[in-house]
Structure 1
Amino acid sequence: MKVGDHHRAFFRTAVLTVTSIAWMASALALERPNVIVIMSDDQGVGDYGFMGNEVIKTPELDALVQRSALMNRFYVSPVCAPTRASLMTGRYNYRTRCIDTYVGRAMMDPAEVTIAELLHNAGYQTGIYGKWHLGDSYPLRPMDQGFQDCLVHRGGGIGQPSDPIGAEGKYTDPTLFKNGVETPMKGYCTDIYFDAAMSFIESAVAEQNHFFAYIATNAPHGPFHDVPKELYQSYLTADFGPILVKDLPPKRLSAEVDKLARIAAMITNIDENVGRLLRKLDELKIRENTIVIYLNDNGPNTLRYVGDMRGMKTHVDDGGVRSPLVFHWPTAIAAPVERDELCAHIDLLPTLMDACQVDLPSDLQIDGRSFLPLLMDDEADWPKRQVVIQAHRGDVPQRYHHFSLHEAPWKLVHPSGFGKETFSGPPKLELYNLHEDPRQQRDVSDEFPEVKARLQEAYEAWFADVSTTRPNNYAPPRIVIGTDHEPTTVLTRQDWRHTKGRAWAADSNGHWLLESMKPGTYDVELVFADSPSSGQATVRAGNYAKTLTIEPGNRRGHKIRMDLPGGKFSFSVDVVFWDTTQGPHQVIVQRIGSP
């Protein structure tokens, strides 16, 4: 049996012992709950008071933990989009075509079935607020993947090339996308997301509907120029010594303290919003039967305190791939509860489906396992399992590159580097006993060669399994243009297939993989990051090509009308300024009609 098959064998019921039958009976006696999932961005496993952080203030979450279940050994991916794909689908991200965070590899295959789709089909109202990061254009948007109410930013964060023109980098008064429509907003982004979620919840309650709200903040992800001012000022006088993990010279220390003050301000602002949300649930008298989940998406975005672990964002050491998971459900869980069983992002979907009494489609293959029995029954069975975490840069996953396999108490890891597309030579595998050595200080490969060999074999089986989920498994998804769902499509550097220079550098270039149901006439507008000089642009769509002159001075307004083909094709723009060829910042493609 393959490792993936072994996982799926337990994805719904674990092992049906007497105790698991008992908890299932008690769960079925409950009314279906509402669901709120809150996930912060680049907040690390140690950035909480309840995790021992002495500097960053999270009083609302600290109090919530005392009334909730806490999963202490919960794993996520080392970077943003892979975690989100796994969380949304209950599947390893390598099954979903989402394998990186940008240049078209953060897009998730539209055939994937999400938590939102399952709950919507079961009668829930569904909403997302904040960060999606699994595709910005049809059919990849959250509104195409089961979310009825959407207020999101594009790309992997505010301050990236997918920002709307004129609203770049604005955490305060950002321009977001409300159900696909570019919409200027007032206020700080995290506050806006929680306000919108609470409005959605109020509406669902008024209509007597169950709801699923997904609040995915882009804080405390950088850039750090725009943070809650009063909190930032208060943290500037804080002593960050207790959460620094290495000594720094005075100049670097000053810059690091300023950055940490900004990150801490964003984290405490999230915490304050969690408090506002919980008070809203109390006001609406729905707190008791509403599941509230809190987690972070990967390790911290600086090298700072991660408890008794090592690592940070992008690392596959535990400090880069661990998150506390807070699970609050007063009606069903006698809190406080702490569990140390091995769980991961792939488990959230089956857990929520169990809690909401939603049967999975018989043909839906997932990797996760419901951990609801652990929260409702002290004696629940939890068969030994393996969880694999892998992510690195590049177009196609490489066997052994930057992975960790977990089987309590063991961790087999090859930390070959997220920023590298490939590694050379045989893998230098490390083996740790995390129960005895959580900081991964002593490689015990030589002491337990049979364990290392067994886990290596299991990893190889896992990699073979996830790599053959579908034909041409790692081909990027395509953006579909010209539909009534999205007559105007904005193509950004977030989703292009990078071909020249550094991915987002001014002189870089790339192409987009597009699809159209039929040939059509389109207005094509080129957009530049800065005011351009005079130049010449060639627009190519499959075998079609057309040129236009770039007039100096204006970022927008460089338009050409083209007949674009039907079917699948590559779309690119080569802009020549003097003797340099580069790509545009964005391209706006608007359907006009049939040719």
Structure 2
Amino acid sequence: MKNRIPLFVLAALLLLFPGAGRAAETPAPSKPNIIYILADDLGIGAVSCYGADHFRTPQIDALAQSGTRFTHCYACPLCGPTRALLMTGRYAFHTGMTGNDSGPLLKPANETMMPRVLKPAGYATAMVGKWSQLPLQPADWGFDEYLRFQGSGKYWNTQHGAETYTLNGKETPLHDGEYLPDRMQTFAIDFIQRHQDKPFYLYYAMSHVHAEILRTPDSAPDSKDFYADNVTYMDKLVGRLVAELDRLHLREKTLIVFSGDNGTAPAYAARATVNGKALSGHKGTMLECGALVPCFATWPGRVPQGRVAESLIDLSDFFPTLAEIAGATLPAGLTIDGKDFAPQLLGKSDNWPRSWIFVELGTHWYDRDPAWKLNEAAELYDMRGAPFEEKLVASSVGDDAAVAARARLQAVLDQLNPGGGKVDPGDGSGKHANKAEKKAKKKGTAPAAAPATNSQNANPPDQ
């Protein structure tokens, strides 16, 4: 008992240090780093945690398991409109980005992209990868640093348009034998290393797995499946990025979102089966898997681990959600179509904000709830068999559920009024509508008129 501290000494200590008798309080979490990885032409049928039969993505699967994976996340059926949707949080009929040719309608005077929102909140910002359908340069939209390539699906300097890339405004040669995705990865890791002591936002728009599908540095000399090789290499790059975050002790400070930008390209859709079944639709179509994309978010200790969320979200929702998590302010005077699901993402609420999603491409659109879809032609589809089938419901069908669904979804379309917004300037497909016209001008002939159709089964060529 000789070592006991007298009570009057303890009382004096408590007066001098009133917090000494309490457990240390957990400090408020700081702003997370944010990394958004956008894969190109990666549908759910090429990601093994979604049940892909012919492809394995162990690094992506492990990352998804560390957070929350979404089974009903929707983009647009083409890359350009998706990137505008993601960067602005606004639907195409608001921005004008209804197709791959309508990027010039986006102007910094009219639209605000994610880096402009995050920079006032203290974030360093960088973009790496594909930017081609969006106008101007990433710096014009607020990115501090960027590395972008021209067009889509660029890997080696033997490809037309891949002889150079743009690094912070300077055209830079892609050297012989240099693999552009590796160069992009080096840029991304260098940015992370230089900004590890302050919050950063990295938008990583990958080359993979957009055509032209070529060999990777890991392809065997006798490989007969370059597409699978590309999926595997993309998976490896994602794993290496996460490993670098671990090495820098940044993993617990970093929110990572991963998604595709549209469904699988038509040339590879037949192989992209899930659990032995063919999917309904692919890139460029208004069928389910034109816009349904793999998506997950992970932030250790903050986003619930191992959760599979069936709630509806679309990529516009990440604009207000990430802004909320970053403590940033949304732009004033703009209609933000995205819904903030930060409380749900962080496990603080089970009441997800969406009961429907909206998808638009060219002059076609639809809204969808968990069981039904209604398009611009007033065609109602039973989606209870999706993503494998969707059944057209005749307008004469008097089933109570179908009648109620038609009325409910039509009310949403009436409220949105996409036909009263900015109209697609091309042929209505949302594709590169000017290609035929340019070819015709060179030959001195008139281009053939594009067929008018409202069908969601319209199957334009891959672009």
Superimposed CA distance per residue, residues 81-140 of structure 1 (whole angstroms, 9 cap, x where no aligned partner)? 0000000011112211212113x546523221111111122221111111113435xxx3
CA contact 2:366–2:374 (8 Å) conserved in 1: yes
CA contact 1:87–1:346 (8 Å) conserved in 2: yes
- Cα offset for 1:432? 1.1
CA contact 1:316–1:413 (8 Å) conserved in 2: no
CA contact 1:43–1:299 (8 Å) conserved in 2: yes
CA contact 2:41–2:263 (8 Å) conserved in 1: yes
Identical amino acids, percent of aligned pairs = 28
- Cα offset for 1:55? 2.3
Instruction: Give 2:374's aligned amino acid.
Output: L
Structure-2 change in CA distance of 1:306 and 1:342 (3 Å): farther
Structure-2 change in CA distance of 1:91 and 1:61 (3 Å): same
Superimposed CA distance per residue, residues 394-425 of structure 1 (whole angstroms, 9 cap, x where no aligned partner)? xxxx4xxx3221122222246xxxxxxxxxxx
In 1, Cα distance between equivalents of 2:229 and 2:27: 42
> Secondary structure of the equivalent of 2:61?
helix
Superimposed CA distance per residue, residues 430-485 of structure 1 (whole angstroms, 9 cap, x where no aligned partner)? 32133x55423433452323422432342243234x744xxxx4598xxxxxxxxx
Q: Which residue of 1 is the match for residue 389 of structure 2?
A: 440
Q: Which residue of 2 is the match for residue 193 of structure 1?
A: 184
Please point out which of 260, 271, 291 is paired with 1:321.
291
Q: Which residue of 2 is the match for residue 79 of structure 1?
A: 78
- Gapped runs of 5+ residues in structure 1? 1-26, 237-260, 393-397, 415-426, 477-494, 510-578, 583-595
> Secondary structure of the equivalent of 2:389?
coil
CA contact 1:411–1:433 (8 Å) conserved in 2: yes
Q: Which residue of 2 is the match for residue 69 of structure 1?
A: 68
Instruction: Give 1:288's aligned amino acid.
Output: E
Q: Which residue of 2 is the match for residue 508 of structure 1?
A: 441
- Cα offset for 1:33? 0.2
Q: How many residues align?
A: 402
- Cα offset for 1:384? 4.8
Does residue 218 of structure 2 align to residue 230 of structure 1?
yes
Judging by fraction of residues, say which structure has more strand.
Answer: 1
Does residue 143 of structure 2 align to residue 147 of structure 1?
yes
- Cα offset for 1:292? 1.0
Residues 71-470 of structure 1: matches in 2 within 5 Å?
A: 71-102=70-101, 104-105=102-103, 108-110=106-108, 111-136=110-135, 140-158=136-154, 168-169=159-160, 174-186=163-175, 187-205=178-196, 208-224=197-213, 226-231=214-219, 236=224, 261-302=225-266, 303-304=269-270, 305-307=272-274, 309-377=279-347, 379-392=349-362, 398=363, 402-413=364-375, 427=377, 429-434=379-384, 436-445=385-394, 446=397, 447=399, 448-464=402-418, 467-468=420-421
Instruction: Give 2:145's aligned amino acid.
Output: D
CA contact 1:131–1:154 (8 Å) conserved in 2: yes
Structure-2 change in CA distance of 1:272 and 1:437 (3 Å): closer
In 1, Cα distance between equivalents of 2:168 and 2:246: 28
- Cα offset for 1:329? 0.4
Structure-2 change in CA distance of 1:287 and 1:268 (3 Å): same
- Cα offset for 1:497? 9.3
Q: TM-score, normalised by structure 1?
A: 0.62
Structure-2 change in CA distance of 1:215 and 1:107 (3 Å): farther
CA contact 1:61–1:271 (8 Å) conserved in 2: yes
In 2, Cα distance between equivalents of 1:85 and 1:52: 29
In 1, Cα distance between equivalents of 2:342 and 2:27: 12
Deviates more, 1:298-307 or 1:56-65: 298-307
> Secondary structure of the equivalent of 2:201?
strand
CA contact 1:107–1:134 (8 Å) conserved in 2: no
Instruction: Give 2:107's aligned amino acid.
Output: D
In 1, Cα distance between equivalents of 2:334 and 2:444: 49
- Cα offset for 1:179? 1.2
CA contact 1:431–1:452 (8 Å) conserved in 2: no
In 2, Cα distance between equivalents of 1:168 and 1:108: 29
Structure-2 change in CA distance of 1:108 and 1:266 (3 Å): farther
- Cα offset for 1:580? 5.3
In 1, Cα distance between equivalents of 2:93 and 2:337: 11
Superimposed CA distance per residue, residues 235-288 of structure 1 (whole angstroms, 9 cap, x where no aligned partner)? 62xxxxxxxxxxxxxxxxxxxxxxxx2222212111101111111101111111
Q: Which residue of 2 is the match for residue 33 of structure 1?
A: 32
In 1, Cα distance between equivalents of 2:353 and 2:304: 23
> Secondary structure of the equivalent of 2:45?
coil
Structure-2 change in CA distance of 1:280 and 1:41 (3 Å): same
> Secondary structure of the equivalent of 2:304?
coil
- Gapped runs of 5+ residues in structure 2? 1-25, 426-430, 447-463
Structure-2 change in CA distance of 1:459 and 1:195 (3 Å): same
Structure with greater contact order relative to length (CA < 8 Å, sep ≥ 6): 2
In 2, Cα distance between equivalents of 1:503 and 1:149: 36
CA contact 1:107–1:135 (8 Å) conserved in 2: no
CA contact 2:47–2:294 (8 Å) conserved in 1: no
CA contact 1:433–1:444 (8 Å) conserved in 2: no
> Secondary structure of the equivalent of 2:100?
coil
Q: Which residue of 1 is the match for residue 49 of structure 2?
A: 50
CA contact 2:288–2:386 (8 Å) conserved in 1: no
In 2, Cα distance between equivalents of 1:407 and 1:289: 34
Instruction: Give 1:461's aligned amino acid.
Output: Q
- Cα offset for 1:31? 0.9
Q: Which residue of 2 is the match for residue 19 of structure 1?
A: none
> Secondary structure of the equivalent of 2:251?
coil
Judging by fraction of residues, say which structure has more helix.
Answer: 2
In 1, Cα distance between equivalents of 2:91 and 2:387: 24
- Cα offset for 1:306? 4.8
> Secondary structure of the equivalent of 2:46?
coil
CA contact 1:28–1:357 (8 Å) conserved in 2: no
CA contact 2:374–2:380 (8 Å) conserved in 1: yes
- Cα offset for 1:368? 0.6
Superimposed CA distance per residue, residues 24-48 of structure 1 (whole angstroms, 9 cap, x where no aligned partner)? xxx9932100011111111112211
Please give the root-mean-square deviation of Cα atoms over the aligned residues, in Å.
Answer: 3.0
